Chains A and B, each alone.
Chain A
Amino acid sequence: MIEQGEIAPNFPARETGKATLLVFFETDCPTCQVTLPYLNALKDSVKVVGISQDDETTTRQFVEQLRIVFPVEIDRGLAVSRAFDPQSVPTMFLLDKSGRVERTAVGFDKAALNDLATTLGVPPIASEHDGAPAWKPGCGSRHLEVEATANGDGPHTVRFLRVAGERASRSTLNEGQDAEEFCMRHFGDALPVVPPTVERVEKMLSACGQAPETIIGRIPPFYGEATVEKIAANAVMAGCPPEMMRVLLPLVRAVCDEKFNIHGVQATTHFAAPLVIINGPVRQQLGFWSRQNTFSNVARANSTLGRALQLILLNVGGARPDGIDMSTLGNPGKFSYCIAENEEENPWEPLHVARGLSREQSAVTLFGGEPPRGVSEHNAQKGKIILQAITRALATVWSYRACMVFEAVVVLCPEHVKTLHRDGFTRQQVRDFLFENTGIPLRYYRDSYDDRGEGTQMTANYKEIMIDGEPCYRKFLAPESLEIVVAGGTAGKFSAVIGSWATGARGSQMVTYPIPD
Chain B
Amino acid sequence: MPVTLVNPMNETVVKAEPAPARLSSLQGKRIALLDISKPGGSIFLDRLEGVFRERYQVAEVIRTKKPTFTKNAPDEVIEGLRGVDAVVEALAD
B10 and A222 within 8 A (CB): yes
How far is B61's CA from A254's CA once the two chains are assembled, in angstroms? 41
> A41 within 8 Å of B by Cβ?
no
B3 and A229 within 8 A (CB): no
> B24 within 8 Å of A by Cβ?
no
A506 and B70 within 8 A (CB): yes
A263 and B72 within 8 A (CB): yes
A171 and B7 within 8 A (CB): yes
Contact of B9 among A166, A268, A315 (CB under 8 A): A315
Contact A166/B11 with A172-B3, A264-B70 known, Cβ cut-off 8 Å: yes
> A174 within 8 Å of B by Cβ?
yes
Least distance between B27 CB and chain A CB atoms (Å): 35
B12 and A169 within 8 A (CB): no
B72 and A171 within 8 A (CB): no
B4 and A234 within 8 A (CB): no
Least distance between A269 CB and chain B CB atoms (Å): 8
Across-interface contacts of B12 in A (CB, < 8 A):
165, 222-225
B2 and A173 within 8 A (CB): yes
Contact A187/B8 with A261-B70, A506-B70 known, Cβ cut-off 8 Å: yes
> A198 within 8 Å of B by Cβ?
yes
How far is B14's CA from A236's CA once the two chains are assembled, in angstroms? 26
Contact of B6 among A182, A196, A222, A311 (CB under 8 A): A196
A316 and B9 within 8 A (CB): yes
Across-interface contacts of A261 in B (CB, < 8 A):
70-71
Residues 290-320 of chain A, each 1 if its beta carbon lies under 8 Å from chain B, else 0: 0000000000000000000001000111100
Contact A170/B4 with A222-B10, A318-B10 known, Cβ cut-off 8 Å: yes
A182 and B5 within 8 A (CB): yes
The count of residues in chain B whose C-beta lies closer than 8 Å to any C-beta of chain A is 19
Across-interface contacts of A187 in B (CB, < 8 A):
8-9
Residues 427-439 of chain A, each 1 if its beta carbon lies under 8 Å from chain B, else 0: 0000000000000
Q: How many A-B contacts at CB < 8 Å in the complex? A: 96
The count of residues in chain A whose C-beta lies closer than 8 Å to any C-beta of chain B is 49
> A68 within 8 Å of B by Cβ?
no
Contact A170/B72 with A165-B12, A222-B12, A225-B12 known, Cβ cut-off 8 Å: no
B5 and A179 within 8 A (CB): yes
> A168 within 8 Å of B by Cβ?
yes
Residues 60-73 of chain B, each 1 if its beta carbon lies under 8 Å from chain A, else 0: 00000001101110
How far is B4's CA from A166's CA once the two chains are assembled, in angstroms? 18
Nearest residue in A to B8 (C-beta to C-beta)? Answer: A233
Nearest residue in A to B72 (C-beta to C-beta)? Answer: A263
> A197 within 8 Å of B by Cβ?
yes
Which residues in chain A, 122-171, are within 8 Å of chain B measured between CB atoms?
Answer: 165-166, 168-171
A175 and B8 within 8 A (CB): no
Least distance between B51 CB and chain A CB atoms (Å): 24
A174 and B2 within 8 A (CB): yes
Across-interface contacts of B39 in A (CB, < 8 A):
457
B5 and A196 within 8 A (CB): yes
- Chosen A-B contacts, 19 in total, with CB atoms closer than 8 Å, are A168-B7, A168-B8, A170-B4, A171-B5, A172-B5, A173-B5, A175-B2, A182-B5, A187-B9, A196-B6, A222-B12, A225-B12, A230-B8, A263-B71, A264-B70, A268-B70, A311-B8, A506-B68, A506-B71
Using a CB–CB cutoff of 8 Å, the interface residues on chain A facing chain B are 165-166, 168-175, 177, 179, 182-183, 186-188, 195-198, 201, 219, 222-225, 229-230, 232-234, 236-237, 261, 263-264, 268-269, 311, 315-318, 457, 502, 506-508
Q: A170-B4, A222-B12, A507-B68 are in contact. List 18 more A-B contacts (CB 8 A).
A: A171-B4, A172-B2, A173-B2, A173-B4, A177-B3, A186-B9, A195-B3, A198-B4, A198-B6, A225-B10, A233-B8, A236-B6, A268-B70, A316-B9, A316-B10, A317-B10, A457-B39, A508-B70
